Amino acid sequence: MKIIIPSAKLVPEDLQSLGKLPAIVYPVNQKIVFDYLYDEYKGADFRVVDFENAPIVHRRLNNYKVNILDLDKLGDLGMTIYQGLKDVDGEGIINFADTIVEDNISGIAGDAFYYSKDVTSSTWTFFTDEKGRITNIVDKKNSNNSNVEKLFVGVFKFSNLTFFRECLKHAFMADKLEIDTFYYALKLYSQKYPFKVIRAQNWFDIGHADKYFSSQIEVKAREFNHIKIDKNRGILTKTSDGVDKFIGEIKWYLKLPNDLEYTRPRIFSYSTSYTKPYVSMEYYAYHTIHELFLYGDLSEKQWIDIFKRIEFVCKDYSRYSVNDSTKIKEALEEMYLTKTITRLQTLQKDKHFKNFFDSPINVNGKQYKSLNEIIDILKEEIPKKLYDVDHFNIIHGDLCFANIMIDNNNNFVKLIDPRGKFGAFDIYGDSRYDLAKLCHSLDGKYDFIIKDLFKINYDINNAIINYTINDRVRDFDLYQVFTDVFKNEINGDLKKIELIESLLFLSMIPLHGESLEQQLVMLGTGLNLLNRSVNILA
């Protein structure tokens, strides 16, 4: 099945807070639109037609099996699709880049398209039909009436794309058209090949700001089994199978001092019962920093503003502290040494990693000591370098980019999914740990790794890993921007923070057993980072 996706234009201006992005790569709930279409039409022959900001489409879709066609010049929708239909015949689907419909049109025989209904307006293209033959089209025109009419959703299945291409040629030659040539051709095509006109049940519109944020809510609620969202009240209710960790999360929300509650969602109700814990909180249709980092196209100034907001929160948390030297040392040992060694010992039982414990490890041409040798080094170096803390501050505990939400103007930050425990402490912990979590997104590229945005080749028999991260191309150093903004919080401890960052990567490897490639990239990243602070060269 051939899938033609016209994505020649940028999203509307009111959706450009993330940058000037074409719709096909616009983020939706920590994915991009193309991810949903790629899953919807598994194994299909994809062709994306682009023009505005085409390089970003090529970069974002680099890891997918997709043919990307760059237009020489921008025309109307019909011309974009016409170019996309070159050398295409037989049946196929045209799916607008700002449209996700999870109703599986590919399983419908013959010609078909999806529709919805709304009050007539300039927002949509409306139509009437008789038995699948389109009789009239009103293309995004203002209307004085308030009738509810059928509108095109943006997904069309054709049994004869060759004939549809001929219909487009006729449209290009027509005089004084008041509708886009695509819709003129669609009407013409329907006279010979009547459509099945089907009401869309699961339509997510990404092309209009109001509908986009509503779609975000719908998609989030569908994708996470433990989340329910009341759209009318703006309330998100979360449950979890990991009871202990989840109760710790709820208690973190509740124990925050009153003057720090602005950093978390408002809590409406909760239960910390072991039988059925839950929390109901205010829902925000904000983007996560994870989405901005992976899929946005933000300027240096925008990133400075974002980091300043996060830095303010960290500084505000530091106003609260506890002093208990014995408990603090025990917590540091548990979090940095014991956890890391225990996780590596778990990894040692995995047959894929046996040789990494027994032999020197080659990462991108650098030769490191074996993991058995590195474990011995960590036992000596971690106490020396990381036990020098005499007080703890309030921390989030899992301050990765996916857990930080920010409004469209980069003014307000909300933190979600806290760790809730640091050793024997609940809301208190080592503030360097939060900074290391930020670094493991920015510096270690954790967000890219978990989305498989990397290239790798490896030889587990000889403990060899070669990988590259498909990082964003920017005209500024984002990690340097971060360290500049957080200069006072880092306070000369960058090497120690990067050491903690390396331990995060090394300790998370056994938790990602569903992907050996991700595990190997995490191992390579962890060793590269560790070598900045501790000499582990073979």
pLDDT recorded at residue 142: 64
> What is the per-residue pLDDT for 121?
82
Band of pLDDT at residue 140, cut at 50, 70 and 90: confident
Do 362 and 440 lie in one domain? The reply is: yes
The secondary structure of 158-169 as a DSSP string is ES-HHHHHHHHH
The pLDDT, as a whole number, for residue 220 is: 61
Owning domain of residue 200 = 2-204
Q: What is the pLDDT of residues 402-459, one digit of tens each?
A: 999 999 888 889 999 999 899 999 999 999 999 999 999 999 999 999 999 999 999 9
Enter the tokens of residue 338. 């014991």
Cβ neighbours of residue 346 closer than 8 Å, sequence gap 6 or more: 510
| 306: in domain | no
293 domain residue, yes or no: no
- Per-residue pLDDT for 222 more than 60? no
pLDDT in tens, 24-33: 999 988 899 9
Mark whether 527 and 412 lie in a shared domain: yes
Decide if pLDDT at 233 tops 60: yes
Domain membership of residue 27 (yes or no) is: yes
Q: Are residues 179 and 245 in the same domain?
A: no
Measured distance CA(148)–CA(132) in Å, rounded: 19
Q: Is residue 107 part of a domain?
A: yes
Q: Quick one: tokens of 225?
A: 């089994």
Q: Are residues 137 and 256 in the same domain?
A: no
* Same structural domain, 361 and 429: yes
Last residue of a domain, one of 259, 282, 305: 282
Query: What pLDDT, on the 0 to 100 scale, is given for residue 144?
Result: 65
What is the band of 224 on the pLDDT scale with cuts at 50, 70, 90?
A: low
Q: Which residues of 181-211 are buried (b: 16+ CB within 10 A; e: fewer)?
A: bbbbbbbbbbeebbbebbebeebbbbbbbeb
Residues 514 and 477 in one domain: yes
Instruction: State yes or no: pLDDT of 63 exceeds 90.
Output: no
- Confidence at residue 83, expressed as pLDDT on a 0 to 100 scale: 96
Q: Render the burial of 345-355: b for 16+ CB within 10 Å, e for the rest.
A: eebbeeeebbb
Dist CA 455 CA 192 (whole Å): 48
Residue 394 inside a domain? The answer is yes
Name the least confident of 1-5, 191-195, 227-231, 429-433.
Answer: 227-231
Where do we find the tokens 């170019």? 83
Q: Tokens for 249, please give them.
A: 């999360």
Assign 217 a pLDDT band (cuts: 50, 70, 90): low
Choice among 203-212, 371-380, 479-488 with the minimum mean pLDDT: 203-212
Same domain, yes or no: 136 and 259: no
pLDDT at 368 over 90: yes
> Residue 523: is its pLDDT beyond 70?
yes
Number of helices (H), then strands (E), belonging to the chain: the values are 19, 27
Q: pLDDT for 497-518, tens place per residue?
A: 999 999 999 999 999 999 999 9
- Report the pLDDT value the prediction gives residue 176, as an integer from 0 to 100: 86
Residue 292, in any domain of the structure: no
Instruction: Report the percent of the chain where pLDDT is more than 90.
Output: 83
| Shared domain check, 442 and 358 | yes
Mean pLDDT of 313-337: 97
* Alpha helix segments (H runs only) across 228-370: 243-255, 289-295, 300-317, 325-332, 339-348, 354-358
Q: Are residues 355 and 450 in the same domain?
A: yes
Residues 164 and 27 in one domain: yes
For residue 329, give Cα distances in angstroms to 87, 117, 430, 491.
68, 63, 11, 21
The CA distances from residue 136 to 76, 129, 178, 190, 482, in Å, are 19, 7, 12, 11, 55
Which residue shows structure tokens 């120690």?
Answer: 496
> How high is the pLDDT of residue 223?
55
What is the CATH number for 433?
A: 3.90.1200
Which of residues 129 and 226 earns the better pLDDT score?
A: 129
Question: Which residues are paired to 229 by β-bridges?
Answer: 236
Contact 25, 60 (CB under 8 A): yes
Place of tokens 């710790």: 248
pLDDT per residue as tens digits for the range 112-122 = 999 999 988 88
Q: Is residue 538 part of a domain?
A: no
CA-nearest of 7, 4, 8, 26 to 297 is 26
Total number of domains constituting the chain: 3
Task: Pick the closest to residue 439 from 316, 312, 529, 344 (CA basis).
Answer: 529
In this structure, is residue 211 part of a structural domain?
no
Same-domain check for residues 123 and 256: no
Do 326 and 448 lie in one domain? The reply is: yes
